[in-house]
Amino acid sequence: MNRYFRFYLKMNIFLAKLENKYPLARGIAAYISKNSHYPLYENTDVIYYAKAEEALEAQLQNLRRQRNLFLWEYFAIQNTTAWGRIEEILVEKAGKRRGNQSVL
């Protein structure tokens, strides 16, 4: 089976499930997927914060709890107080795991 056909089939199954659960969401989900050229994902969680400070605190708490490999992606980071707090945690974690193939 062609990989594009599998992708198309998977996407249609996902959109059908989405339409059953949230009828109004199917159209916008299909539009975003088609125009962004990225697949839709299911079984994921998103939390929206009203203020950036609340989001930063949640990220810092999650970062402190991480014990294993994690992926954190940012498009731009400025050398600010917020980045200093993130960097402090990362440096601390790298120091604790230096013997266990940590990379920072």
pLDDT digits (tens, 9 = 90+) for 39-82: 788 888 888 889 988 989 998 998 898 877 666 666 666 778 88
The secondary structure of residue 79, as a DSSP letter, is S
pLDDT at residue number 104: 47
pTM score, whole prediction: 0.52
**Which residues have a Cβ under 8 Å from the Cβ of 11 and sit 6 or more positions away?**
33, 39, 40
- Per residue in 30-41, pLDDT (tens digit) is 898 888 877 788
CA distances in angstroms from 6 to 10, 13, 20, 31, 54, listed in the order given: 6, 11, 21, 19, 40
